[in-house]
Amino acid sequence: MATQLFVSLPTSDLERSTRFYTALGTTVNEAFSDQNGTCFVWDDNIFFMLIKREFFATFTDKPIVDPAVAVQTSHSFSRHSRDEVDRIVAAGIAAGGSEPRPPQDFGFMYMRDLDDPDGNSLGFLYAPPEEEPEEALDDQVQGIA
């Protein structure tokens, strides 16, 4: 069995978070959801648990960071194209998120950041696949011949 990742994030408005994350294309796992939190499925191995701040605070003795004013973590997801990056960020903005800075294009990678309505940071990126090893070898052989 592959390792599954569950990321827990605090939210001040569970209904708003549910609208936002479903607008990004996630589905809700009802088995891990209740009145205190919702489990969002990105794929078979990645899940986000958006948990009401008050309930989230029962999991730790540490202070809970307010994501609207401080970044604790940023979660980045690869996409299959620049267009897919642009589409998911546009869907997030339409669902109440915000883009904290302009897109970044490094040539080898295109990135856009998106803050959810609570301020939790998400990143979406596209990095074109590198040349296949067999194709690179063919190029080297042709260069020698």
Evaluate if pTM is beyond 0.85: no
Count Cβ atoms within 10 A of the Cβ of residue 10 and give its class: 0-12 exposed, 13-18 middle, 19 or more buried. Answer: buried
Within a domain: 11:
yes
Domain count, the chain: 1
* pLDDT per residue as tens digits for the range 19-72: 999 999 999 999 999 999 999 999 999 999 999 999 999 999 999 988 889 888
Within a domain: 66:
no
Within a domain: 76:
yes
49: containing domain: 5-59+71-144
Q: CA-CA distance, 140 to 121, in Å (whole number)?
A: 43
The CATH number of the domain where 41 resides is what? 3.10.180.10
Count Cβ atoms within 10 A of the Cβ of residue 91 and give its class: 0-12 exposed, 13-18 middle, 19 or more buried. Answer: middle
* pLDDT per residue as tens digits for the range 68-113: 898 888 899 999 999 999 999 999 999 999 999 999 999 999 999 9
Within a domain: 65:
no
